[in-house]
Amino acid sequence: MASAAASQPVVFGCPLTGQVEPVSHCPDPTFAREILGPGVCIQPEDCVLYAPADAQVEFLLSTKHALGLSTPQRIKFLIHLGLDTNRLEGEGLEAFVQTGDFVRRGDKLLAYNPAVMEKAHCSMNTPFVFCNTQEGWRVELLRTGLVSAGEDLVQLVPQEPSSP
């Protein structure tokens, strides 16, 4: 279990420039219902995805459309580049990292070719969700609307465990 109570708030930057809204507005019900965790959905205005925090890449799917990372505070998060992009099997996607890499906030993670996405009729709505917040973290959305890559976007605040 994460030691959230002894930690300071952790701030995450926006992973790509775009229109940000709560993940509950995501067109994919798995994300909208927060089944994978709370977070945001970004409609990108840029083609490059950056690390929102210092973290280790826990996985990068072979199709390059999604990756999971974990911070030194053991906060796990997922960034899913677009919806239905898995069916492209990596076409039009470029990875700059691999599983096991440690990245710093602002490092390039992935890039995509918008022409390939458009031709395949893929939605570029990009969910960015926190997968283990039940372990003592509260998610606070710092801004919505147009947000530039790297701007502070989400803050996770440690919570005291509930008493039984």
- Catalytic annotation, residues: 80
CB 124 within 8 A of CB 117: yes
Name, in order, each residue with C-beta under 8 angstroms of 19's C-beta and a sequence gap of 6 or more.
42, 43, 45, 145, 146, 147
Asked if 151 contacts 4 with a C-beta cutoff of 8 angstroms, the reply is no
> Counting Cβ atoms within 10 Å, is residue 48 exposed (0-12), middle (13-18) or buried (19+)?
middle
- Cβ burial of 149 (10 Å; 0-12, 13-18, 19+) is buried
Cα 5 → chain centroid: 23
7 with 74: CB under 8 angstroms? no
